[in-house]
Amino acid sequence: MQPKRVRLVVGLGNPGDTYRQTRHNVGFMVLDEVADFCSVALKKSRSFPNLFYGRGTIEGVNTILVKPLAFMNRSGPPVQKISNYYKILCEDVLVIHDDIDLAFGRLKIKKRGGDGGHKGVRSLRQALGGDEFVRLRIGVGRSENEISVTDHVLGRFDPEERKVLEQISTKAREAVVTILCKGTEEGMNRFNDKRILIDS
């Protein structure tokens, strides 16, 4: 009998209070939203000390939710360890991450591809030995001020952005569930090029 397919959903971010609620941690925020909605408890384990993770089913799909705790640029090795342990194929991995090349609040689902300069995605590609994983990119935009990209993504959302963060997290969670349960193509058709607008 064929073993049941297991999906791995990875939210990217940096651990610790210093980075909480920063743009670079939107992947963590959305993963927490998915975990809460699906009643999956995230915890640490001696087997996987550099992860918060939880197992559950999302509308019948066996799913493992993961937040790497090795900092963004070294996200790959802990994810590789758990994916190897559960024998999860690269194409069964869904990665949620911020993207400065998308306008704030815009979602884009992508199959495969490069890292687009995102060092967390780069670490995953190197560790997993391929780029077949699906990405849910969440737009955080670029700064209108003359600050570095690093300062922008490690900065906190401004007051206007915070007004719609909950809407963005909810829409991203819906995208995750759609990808898992109805497929990547359906997710792309429903959520790509959609944007949460900030009310004036």
Q: Is the dihedral of CA 23, 149, 121, 107 positive or negative?
A: positive
DSSP 29-65: HHHHHHHHHTT---B--SSSTTEEEEEEEETTEEEEE
Relative to beta strand 61-68, strand 51-58 is antiparallel
DSSP bridge partners of 140: none
* Residue in the block written with tokens 């007004």: 163
SS3 153: helix
Which of 4, 40, 7 has the alpha carbon at shortest distance from 181?
Answer: 7
Tell me the two tokens of residue 74. 């070294």
* Active-site amino acid positions: 24
What is the spatial distance between Cα 134 and Cα 162, in angstroms, rounded to a whole number? 27
